[in-house]
Structure 1
Amino acid sequence: MNFYTKFCAMLSKISLILAVIGLLAVVLCVQWQVIGRYVLNDTPTWAEALALLLVLFVTAFGLAVGVRDAGHIGLESLVVLLPEKWQHRIEILIHGLVGLFGAMMVHGGWLWMMAKWDEKKPMMPVPDGIDYLPLVIAGVLIVLFSIEHVIALLRGQEVEPAWN
């Protein structure tokens, strides 16, 4: 468990760093688009398309980090009202369902990514299927992080946020 926890913490930190870098890149893309449009009088069409693609990656990485560090919306207010024995079971069920949702994200994202991979984006020289890659990445991370939470709950431990 210790190796797995360290591995998941490392993945979470990397995801958070990539999300921040991606967010900065979005800001730079939008700034370049504004400069191109209003200063150079030549709108770079790729800047908007790249910013939109980066937003997908930033959202995916942020979502995965939120699942690992329990920053997502939960039903804890209702779970607290249950007897302690049931609280533990419901928490495991919740993390299992979140993991199942992550697996469904991987499956659906992979199908769409493969279906669109041979098409090219009109404003950038990348496959159109790249729009679905963040869904696959986030899904894999969510499954890994949900498994970590379930194992921790079964051992009577808590998952510590990666930034601590």
Structure 2
Amino acid sequence: MRNAIDTLLRSTIVVIFSILVVCVSWQVISRFILGTPSTSTDELARFLFMWLALIGGAYTLGQRRHLAIDLLTLHLSGRRKMISELVIIGVIALFCAIVMVYGGGQLVVRTLSSGQVTPSLQLPMGYVYGAIPFAGLVMLYYCLTFCRDLFAGRSLNTDAAAFGPLD
């Protein structure tokens, strides 16, 4: 299941990035060559960038390629290292659960119930903000897999080079 989620996230990131490149390119062409900027592509690019950043952050966490200050855990071993990693994963999971899933979910619900829409595309703003709880849920999933791996005796190597190429 983990590989399927990784592949889905990776594919989603590529698709969003591709659409983002087209939107920004069209924005440049319409503004500087045609002289009439496209407001819809400008708005779409902003929202896609938000989704791209949050999904990309979740994927990066899942690959353990995120920025980490691992000065302490590099010098630990055995049970102490496992406890340290569990505490770190717990703090990440707590943040994701409270801020991203719960807080982001509340933001989505409030925004959808208020009927707020985007100025140009007329999309419900709740869909735009939906990236927050979605990314939080994905990050929680990865935290659970990390805990499972730790309890199964597999080390969570934080060295990005240990993972090899991304395909």
Letter in 2 for 1:115: R
Structure 1 residues 1-164: aligned runs within 5 Å: 7-104=1-98, 105-117=100-112, 118-158=115-155, 163=166
Q: CA RMSD in A?
A: 1.9
Q: 1:157, CA displacement in angstroms?
A: 1.8
Deviations 1:98-121 (A, max 9, x none): 122221211111111111121111
Where 1:130 maps in the other structure, the secondary structure is helix
Percent identity between the two aligned chains: 23
Uncovered stretches (5+) of structure 2, i.e. residues with no partner: 157-162
User: Are the aligned partners of 1:33 and 1:47 in contact in 2 as well (CA < 8 Å)?
Assistant: yes
What is the TM-score of this pair, normalised by structure 2? 0.86
Letter in 2 for 1:149: F
Deviations 1:108-135 (A, max 9, x none): 1111111112111111120122221111
Uncovered stretches (5+) of structure 1, i.e. residues with no partner: 1-6
Pairs aligned (count): 158
Q: 1:163, CA displacement in angstroms?
A: 3.9
What is the TM-score of this pair, normalised by structure 1? 0.88
Q: 1:41, CA displacement in angstroms?
A: 2.3
User: Are the aligned partners of 1:102 and 1:140 in contact in 2 as well (CA < 8 Å)?
Assistant: yes
**What CA distance in whole angstroms lies between the structure 2 residues aligned with 1:89 and 1:80?**
13
Q: 1:39, CA displacement in angstroms?
A: 2.3
User: Are the aligned partners of 1:13 and 1:162 in contact in 2 as well (CA < 8 Å)?
Assistant: no
Structure 2 vs 1, CA of residues 56 and 138 (structure 1 numbering), >3 Å: closer, same or farther? same
**What CA distance in whole angstroms lies between the structure 2 residues aligned with 1:110 and 1:52?**
20
Structure 2 vs 1, CA of residues 9 and 141 (structure 1 numbering), >3 Å: closer, same or farther? same
Letter in 1 for 2:47: L
**What CA distance in whole angstroms lies between the structure 1 residues aligned with 2:141 and 2:124?**
27
**What CA distance in whole angstroms lies between the structure 2 residues aligned with 1:54 and 1:132?**
11
**What CA distance in whole angstroms lies between the structure 2 residues aligned with 1:9 and 1:58?**
20
User: Are the aligned partners of 1:15 and 1:65 in contact in 2 as well (CA < 8 Å)?
Assistant: yes
